[in-house]
Structure 1
Amino acid sequence: MTDLPPISPLPQLGAVYDGWFNFPVRVYPHHTDYAGVVWHGSYINWMESARVECLRSVGISFEDLVAAGVNLPVVNLSIRYHLPAKMGDDVIVMTKLQNPEKLRLNWAYQIRTENDLCVTALVTLVAVDMEKNKILRTLPSSLVGAIARLVGNDITPN
């Protein structure tokens, strides 16, 4: 039997370093294509999971937003694939809310292995009234408070 290398432990969920929320992911076979390379859409799923957990860490759950009739759809996504992650890798999905505006929430992402930058991305969300299917002109106060805790300052007007 072949000796296997030790597995490095993933960092704790929600650890924040230099303003970046860290979401650890271990790459499983269902994240990859037939060659064991992470399928491009898996990165987008991981980014959403990291964003949801980041908001949860400051008291905002998507369940509560939906119950309040608010949705946060993606209206813009820009992604750059630098190097692939592979089956068995431990990756960190790092996310940071950058320059929040009155109507738009701009999230930056880095997805890394221990040694490599795999993906960088920017995602923009808007708040939508689920009943009227219209963009909200102001964010719910609970969301504004959570955003202030994330970025440490006020939302800039559009």
Structure 2
Amino acid sequence: MNKKHIFCRHSHTVRVPFFDVDPMQIVWHGNYVKYLEVARCAFLESIGYGYDEMGRRGFGWPIVKMDLKYIRPARFGQTIRIDMAIVEIDTCLRIDYTLSDEQTGEKLTRASTTQAAVSLKTGETQFQTPESWLEAIRSHPTFQAA
């Protein structure tokens, strides 16, 4: 089995708000998707390629695939660390995530998202990543070429 190349890493923390928990006082499973988006937005902003910039460059980046594995529940007030590993940049944006308790390091969830560039003008999926995206990701301080 080949080890995945990691182009760069990024981390973000979120504190679980009361309105994200269910009657059992644990984070409702659908809210993990929101935490991934919050972390992904922070990463994109760190490279100057947030959703506004994507639009200015003429591209949308919809999620085309998502996978989540719940290991342990997160709870109200808990601070979660979301560690991201960007593992594909040439034909899509694929990010692997590990969500952990910030204090203990206990693993809570593993996830992966895949986004594809879509031309806002034509609506066509781009099977090669736009150069503007590659320039942006190469600016991240942890970037490592394959």
What band does the TM-score fall into relative to the shorter chain?
Answer: 0.7 to 0.9
Secondary structure of residue in 1 paired with 2:115: strand
CA contact (8 A) 2:22 2:28 kept: yes
Who is 2:41 aligned against? 52
Secondary structure of residue in 2 paired with 1:22: strand
After the TM superposition, list the runs of 4 or more consecutive aligned residues in structure 1 that deviate by more than 6 angstroms. Answer: none
Who is 2:3 aligned against? none
Trace 1:71-110 onto structure 2 (pairs within 5 A).
71-100=60-89, 102-110=90-98
| More contact order relative to length (CA 8 Å, sep ≥ 6) | 2
Any idea what the Cα deviations from partners look like across 1:74-112, whole Å, max 9, x if unmatched? 111111000001001111111121133x32111000111
Q: In structure 2, give the amino acid aligned to 1:21.
A: H
Kindly indicate whether residue 37 of structure 2 is the aligned counterpart of residue 42 of structure 1. no
In structure 1, what is the Cα distance between the partners aligned to 2:17 and 2:130? 37
How many residues matched? 135
The normalised TM-score by structure 2 is 0.84
Kindly indicate whether residue 11 of structure 2 is the aligned counterpart of residue 22 of structure 1. yes
CA RMSD of aligned residues (A): 1.6
Q: In structure 2, give the amino acid aligned to 1:63.
A: D
In structure 1, what is the Cα distance between the partners aligned to 2:13 and 2:99? 10
In structure 2, what is the Cα distance between the partners aligned to 1:33 and 1:126? 32
Structure 1 unaligned regions, length at least 5: 1-18
Structure exhibiting the larger radius of gyration computed from Cα positions: 1
The structure 1 residue matched to 2:113, chosen from 107, 123, 138, is 123
Who is 1:153 aligned against? 145
The structure 1 residue matched to 2:51, chosen from 44, 50, 62, is 62
In structure 2, what is the Cα distance between the partners aligned to 1:146 and 1:97? 13
In structure 1, what is the Cα distance between the partners aligned to 2:138 and 2:56? 22
Secondary structure of residue in 2 paired with 1:91: strand
Comparing 61-70 and 120-129, the one that deviates more: 61-70
CA contact (8 A) 2:96 2:110 kept: yes
The structure 2 residue matched to 1:140, chosen from 111, 124, 130, is 130
In structure 2, what is the Cα distance between the partners aligned to 1:34 and 1:133? 41
In structure 2, what is the Cα distance between the partners aligned to 1:20 and 1:31? 26
Amino-acid identity (%): 24
